[in-house]
Amino acid sequence: MHICHVNLASGFSGGERQTLQLIKQQLKEGYQLTVVANPKSPFTDEIKKLPCKLVLASHSLMQHKKSITSECRLIHVHEGRAIYWAYLQSILFGIPYIVTRRIDNPLKSKWLSNKAYAKASALVGLSNAIVDAVKVRHPHANVHKIPSSPVVYPVNDELVADIRDKFDSQFIVIQAANLLKHKGHRTSIEAARLLQITHPNIHFVLLGDGPERNVLEKLASAVDNVTFAGKQSDMGSWFAAANLLIHPSYSEGLGSVILEAMAAGLPVVASDAGGIPDIIDDGISGLLIEAGNSVQLAEAICRVESSLLLRSNLLIGANKKLAMFDIAYTSTLYKKLYFSISHS
């Protein structure tokens, strides 16, 4: 089966990593793949290492040729702007396309966006929250839920030892997310403030960078149990060194970092926002708190820190839950969808 994947993002975040993981799995399964990607993206550099046909396009209006998709069953869109590339390619050459949506925000009510989504043969949401958001704008669309799968990172034992030495004997709580308003870092900082006197052994490490950094650093200036570590490229080592991941987002499509932490054997406390409850069954595969509730976050962190039994049970539950997010299972769901469209 020949599929054309499209991702025109210039960066390389969770969505691009998940797209790359699906592509690698499909290559293992014998697919022939064409990938349309932005030449400025590290995602493109990774695709160049794989036996794929690569088409470089920095804009949705670029590289529209019949030859690009003439042998493909369909186009699989993985990123917001890419839907317009697929829409135009479909109009010009009659190739069907599907869209994987990764955020739970309401869909735009713009004319072109509505047209592009309406023409798609299927719309895929990573979580129930995303599916619900899609159905609000497109109630009659062919909508499916297919989750993403965790990326497994290598571990550098020397870096793990360095991290643990730096935070000597402390219970390391990490939040790994871009410093954006909706990621809930303010909740984390307030939870840290609540715990700095009562639980001095708990230390918060914020991994990531972004437009909120200056504001957040000012908020944390009077808090001595928070460290801003910046953007990290070795997440496997941080997962191995830490004791707990927190993810108190106000909105979240699914939460790929939660899956990654669980796969690395790290317990998770997260908010009940967006698609996060698709991953975390409260008290079984992790702990859920109310979004924006710093008191609940502080209490949940203390529960995990104080109970080895709870940590062990959460990891057992997480391992069972991860079966629903295995990349082979995800790929099987997409294969069924591809066949249903190409044979309709």
3-state helix/strand/coil string of 173-203: EEEECCCCHHHCHHHHHHHHHHHCCCCCCEE
Domain of 174?
157-324
| 11 and 141 co-located in one domain | yes
Inter-axis angle of helices 185-195 and 294-306, nearest 10: 60
One domain, residues 34 and 144:
yes
Sign of CA dihedral 341, 22, 253, 42: negative
Rg (CA), the chain: 21
- In this structure, the answer to whether residues 172 and 289 fall within a common structural domain is yes
Give CA–CA dist 335/144, Å, rounded. Answer: 13
Residues 127 and 251 in one domain: no
**What pLDDT is recorded for position 344?**
67
Between β-strands 74-77 and 2-7, what pairing exists: parallel, antiparallel or unpaired? parallel
Do strands 122-125 and 97-101 pair parallel, antiparallel, or not at all (unpaired)?
parallel
Could you give the dihedral angle defined by the CA atoms of residues 136, 139, 142 and 146, in that order, rounded to the nearest 10 degrees?
A: 30
Number of domains the chain contains? 2
pLDDT along the chain (344 residues), means of 10: 96 89 97 97 96 96 96 94 96 97 89 94 96 94 94 95 95 97 97 97 97 97 96 95 98 94 97 96 98 98 98 97 94 96 80
Same domain, yes or no, for 42 and 188? no
Q: Do 51 and 135 share a domain, yes or no?
A: yes
What integer pLDDT is reported at residue 157 of this predicted model?
Answer: 97
Mean pLDDT of the chain: 95
**DSSP β-bridge partners for residue 174:** 205, 245
Question: What CATH number is given to the structural domain containing 82?
Answer: 3.40.50.2000
The verdict on 184 and 205 lying in the same domain is yes
Q: Are 236 and 264 in contact (CB under 8 A)?
A: yes
Gap between the Cα atoms of 245 and 265, Å rounded? 10
Name the helix (H) or strand (E) containing 269. Answer: strand 268-271
Task: Report helix, strand or coil for 20.
Answer: helix
| Alpha carbons within 13 A on the beta-carbon side of 40 | 6
Q: Do 333 and 298 reside in the same domain of the chain?
A: no
Judgement on whether residues 200 and 255 belong to the same structural domain of the protein: yes
Give yes or no: residues 204 and 130 share one domain: no
Q: Are 189 and 219 in contact (CB under 8 A)?
A: yes
Phi, psi of 159 (to 5 degrees): -65, -40
Helix (H, G, I), strand (E, B) or coil at 342: helix
Q: Are 34 and 133 in the same domain?
A: yes
Return the residue matching tokens 């000597």: 168
Q: Closest by alpha carbon to 9, among 82, 107, 75?
A: 82
Residue tagged 């997440």 (tokens)? 235
Same-domain check for residues 8 and 140: yes
